Amino acid sequence: MEFKTKKNQNASVDLKLTFDKNDLEKAFEKTYKEKQKDLKIPGFRPGKAPIEMVKRHLGDSVANDAINLLLLETVSELSGKLEHKIVRFPKFTVEDYVPEKSLVATAVYDTDPEVSLGKYKKIKIKLPEVQVTDEDITEELQFVRKQLARKLLREPSEGAENGDIVDMEFEVKEDGQEPKNAKNGSSDYKLGEANNLPGFDDNLYGIKTGETKNFSYTYPSDYPREDLAGKKMEFAMTLKAIYKEVLPELDDDLASEYDGSSSLQVLKDKVKTDLQKNYTEAVKNKKMEEIYKELVADSKFVFPESYLTEESEHVYQNMMQDVLGRGQARIPKEQIPSIEKYAEMVGKPLEEVMGSFKTIAENRLKGYFSRQKLASTENIVLTDEDFDREISTLASRYGMPDADFKKELEKGKLLETYRDNFLAKKIDDTLFQLVEKKYNEKMSIRQLKEFLSNKETGEVWQ
């Protein structure tokens, strides 16, 4: 067998295979023996006919099977010899076939994407310097106090106030309709919380234990439940119990109860260290998107068309899973409309819709392969020691022994996923160290929360 290759400009390779008489004889011989196992010939039990009789009986009818076997084995044999590796089995075309003499087959196969990284060490970024203030520490300690808060039952004569925790029973019906369900109940509902329905709690303030109050409430037009959005509902609300939240004193006893700290000052020092570490990491993670955008913009990529097609389909499928499954139930693939049907649904040309998904797919591929190229260029690998250290960190966070945590990952077939994630983190950490950084201003934790909430657009590096 002889082979010839020619590299193309689109990350594909022309492959030409030439086989002689000997190659064909071996392939046909293997095919005849495989067919012999199940072949029924009069006078012989299935699979027991002599091989020569099998050859005479089948003749050249096995040519397609023999040629396919020959091509399959040849591609497998060539996998380690080709300069540009085959990333998926190609579709061959038989250019010339002379039975028992020769065969010429050609194919165009996809190879690895080509990535030429830009000057990533010249990337310059500005980022804030984390400055933990006394106010930040005090605010964090307030969360600690709330975690350790106790509930004190209010007297029957006291009405519900903002910040109270209530157990309630209620009946709800649409305006002018009869109630459809029995009475509902809710416990540990905290009045005045930011994520409560806007304006709803105003109807509960002042109600005393055992009292019932009737009121109407109109749900916001953008309420997630479509059956309630914008509708006016009638409530009959009874507070079964009202608790005043009592926060512990900010003292050494609180520190000891919270995490065993020997004093309040020790707890404050821990809080400061954790805030510094966590928000420094958060700033770095936010800036990584900016870094990768610059890296991608300064790099060159050549992808096989099949990569873009597959990733575009992946992007579309994930989007439809989120839309149809509402981020919860997994929708069977056959229930997801085709991209052609989706284009009709949104009233846009198919080319425009496919182009938008292809753009997202291309950005994702650029981010992924720039990261892989960087790992190769900088010789970044995840050692067994790195992996065990990361596993140990996660295990301690969940309060589990390392071995037990690893077993849980093995059970869920997640070890390789975590290994990939750890490697990606190591690559990102290395890149962050390599770029030029300038700390342009100091920010408190309160300021950083606002800074971090301003999300970048685009999907480049995830």
Task: Give the integer Cα–Cα distance in Å for 125 and 288.
Answer: 10
Q: What is the pLDDT of residue 160?
A: 95
Q: In this model, does residue 5 exceed pLDDT 80?
A: yes
- Cα 286-423-120 angle, rounded to 5 deg: 55
Q: In this model, does residue 131 exceed pLDDT 80?
A: yes
Q: In this model, does residue 107 exceed pLDDT 90?
A: yes
Rg of the chain (C-alpha set): 34
Q: What is the pLDDT of residue 125?
A: 93
* Domains observed in the chain: 2-112 (3.30.70.1050), 150-246 (3.10.50.40), 257-311+354-453 (no CATH)
**What's the mean pLDDT when you consider all of the chain?**
90
Task: Summarize pLDDT for 156-214 with one digit per residue, the tens.
Answer: 999 999 999 999 999 888 877 776 666 788 889 999 998 999 999 999 999 999 999 99
Mean pLDDT on 29-34: 91
Q: In this model, does residue 360 exceed pLDDT 90?
A: yes
State the pLDDT confidence band at 459, using cuts at 50, 70 and 90.
very low
Q: In this model, does residue 458 exceed pLDDT 70?
A: no
State the pLDDT confidence band at 326, using cuts at 50, 70 and 90.
low
> Which two tokens mark 157?
């004569």
Mean pLDDT on 405-410: 92
> Which two tokens mark 307?
């990569």
H/E element, 339: helix 339-346
pTM: 0.71
State the pLDDT confidence band at 328, using cuts at 50, 70 and 90.
low
Task: Summarize pLDDT for 269-290 with one digit per residue, the tens.
Answer: 999 999 999 999 999 999 998 9
Those residues with Cβ within 8 angstroms of residue 391's Cβ, 6 or more apart along the chain or in another chain = 402, 405, 406, 409, 418
Q: What is the pLDDT of residue 88?
A: 84
